[in-house]
């Protein structure tokens, strides 16, 4: 099943305006009330039960100059058993000068036998800022499905508006071939959380959360910071990533934002 959503945010007197187009399975909803100083908040929703074999999802997010917004999922992304090529989720993000995007790709949970690929492309304009978070569960741990998926491939690339690649990462997990290596790498952890803080900003301070092991490293070319956290449970990882994102956004001294209550859906 081919599904797509494109969302274009532009600055407005009362926050941002949204122009979105989508197929039936994907929705962008908002803005929702935000406390003083917070970015206007929108939710990206997949109305289906999850990603099935053969599903092909394409999501595009574009912030024009000066727009500021938060986008988050309404639920975890479940990837079900596959008997063919599996499922694909391709996300493209572009943020122009002076714009700020706080984007949470959410939690991905592969079920036993799942095959999936995630590909994320980020276009970072000069003077733009992006917080990009994603979390991967090593299976349905509570159901005894730790590393029971067949294959999971993930890639992410950050480039400038002129096409220069500034950061790239790719991983391919095949538990049937790598179980010993994977267990040695993550120990007893159940999830891996990752956060990219792109653009201007100081090294983030991370909270101490019991059961979570986190660290920060500088990204190449001075484009920002990366936070990674291994944790037993999603809520532990989420607390580290959420507090780091919140502090980073607040460090830019955002004024009070009152969301535009009339988004345009095409």
β-bridge pairing 100-110 and 68-73: parallel
Give the ranges where 137-203 is alpha helix by DSSP (H). 175-186
- Number of residues in the chain: 266
Query: Max Cα separation, the chain?
Result: 55
DSSP H/E element including 135: strand 129-137
253: left (phi over 0), alpha (psi -120 to 50) or beta: left
Alpha helix (H) residue ranges in 49-198: 175-186
Q: What is the pLDDT of residue 82?
A: 77
Write out pLDDT tens, residues 75-126. 888 888 777 789 999 999 999 999 999 999 999 999 999 999 999 999 999 9
Q: Hey, what's the torsion of the CAs at 82, 182, 144, 72, to 10 degrees?
A: -70
Distance, CA of 204 to CA of 244 (rounded, Å)? 6
Average pLDDT of the chain is 90
The mean pLDDT value for 212-234 works out to: 96
Q: Which distant-in-sequence residues (6+ apart) come within 8 Å of 107 by Cβ?
A: 73, 76, 77, 135, 136, 137, 191, 234, 238
Nearest to 231 by CA among 151, 111, 129, 137: 137
pLDDT tens figures, 23-75: 999 999 999 876 656 789 999 999 987 888 899 999 999 999 999 999 999 88
The predicted structure's pLDDT at residue 171: 96
Do β-strands 165-173 and 151-159 pair in parallel, antiparallel, or remain unpaired? antiparallel
């Amino acid at each position: 099943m081919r599904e797509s959503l494109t969302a274009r945010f532009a600055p407005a007197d009362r926050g941002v305006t949204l122009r979105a187009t989508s197929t039936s399975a994907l929705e962008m909803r908002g803005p929702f009330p935000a406390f003083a100083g917070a970015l206007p908040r929108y939710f990206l929703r997949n109305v289906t039960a999850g990603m099935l074999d053969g599903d092909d999802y394409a999501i595009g997010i574009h912030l024009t100059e000066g727009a500021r917004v938060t986008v988050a999922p309404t639920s975890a992304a479940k990837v079900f058993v596959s008997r063919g090529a599996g499922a694909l989720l391709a996300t493209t993000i572009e943020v122009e000068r002076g714009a700020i995007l706080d984007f949470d790709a959410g939690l991905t949970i592969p079920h036993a036998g799942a095959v999936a690929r995630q590909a994320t492309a980020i276009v970072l304009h000069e003077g733009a800022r992006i917080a990009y978070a994603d979390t991967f569960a090593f299976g349905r741990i509570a159901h005894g499905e730790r590393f029971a998926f067949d294959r999971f491939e993930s890639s992410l690339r950050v480039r400038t508006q002129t096409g220069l690649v500034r950061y790239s990462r790719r991983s391919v997990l095949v538990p049937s071939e790598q179980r010993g290596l994977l267990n040695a790498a993550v120990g007893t952890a159940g999830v891996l959380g990752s956060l990219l803080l792109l653009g201007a900003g100081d090294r983030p301070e991370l909270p101490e959360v019991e059961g979570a092991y986190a660290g920060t490293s500088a990204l190449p070319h001075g484009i920002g910071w990366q936070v990674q956290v291994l944790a037993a449970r999603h809520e532990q990882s989420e607390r580290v990533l959420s507090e780091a994102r919140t502090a980073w956004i607040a460090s830019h001294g955002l004024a009070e934002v009152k969301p535009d209550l009339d988004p345009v859906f095409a």
